[in-house]
Amino acid sequence: MLGVVAEISNTSSCVISASELKDGRRAPDRRAKVLSSISAMGSLIGAVLGTLTLRYPISCTRFSPYIFGGGGAIFGGGQRPKNVRVVEEGEGFDIVQTEGFTGAQTEALGQVGGGLEIRLTPHIGWVSDFSWNFVNGPENNFGMVRTGVSFAF
């Protein structure tokens, strides 16, 4: 089983109403604003991840353990504040002032994990798994627990 997950968020909001979509004169202008704001990499954040899942359905039971692994990229985040120490003579203390932020970063992302699916009916099951995510060194790695309902049709 091969899966691809993509998640993209645009931090600047732009809403197109249904009436504007029907109106051919105004909709292209609004769509152009949406596309231009999405193309600005400073405001686009998200991740793309592809995984390969290996399931082993245990015969004559409702249990299917599985493992998965894959890779991708996480982009648009990682901005850090640029802090500057300001010394004020005669005041007796210094001030740390933020003067902007660093640019957005793109990093490689790896994921491995495993879980268990329990079929409640032939088409509906309950899944629970754990994944470990590798992002740019050991200080950024994190684990994730998921659980939910699966539909197989």
User: CB of 16 within 8 A of CB of 28?
Assistant: no
Q: Which domain holds residue 36?
A: 2-151
Residue 106 has pLDDT above 50, yes or no: yes
For 115-152, what is each residue's pLDDT tens digit?
999 999 999 999 999 999 998 888 889 999 999 999 98
Residue 21 has pLDDT above 80, yes or no: no
* SS percent in the chain: helix, strand, coil, step 5: 15, 60, 25
**What is the pairing mode between strands 142-151 and 124-135?**
antiparallel
Cα gap 65→55, rounded to integer Å: 6
Instruction: Name which of 40, 32, 49, 36 is nearest 112 in CA terms.
Output: 49
Domain count, the chain: 1
Copy the structure tokens of residue 22: 């029907």
Copy the structure tokens of residue 9: 């968020």
Instruction: Name which of 106, 111, 108, 109 is nearest 144 in CA terms.
Output: 111
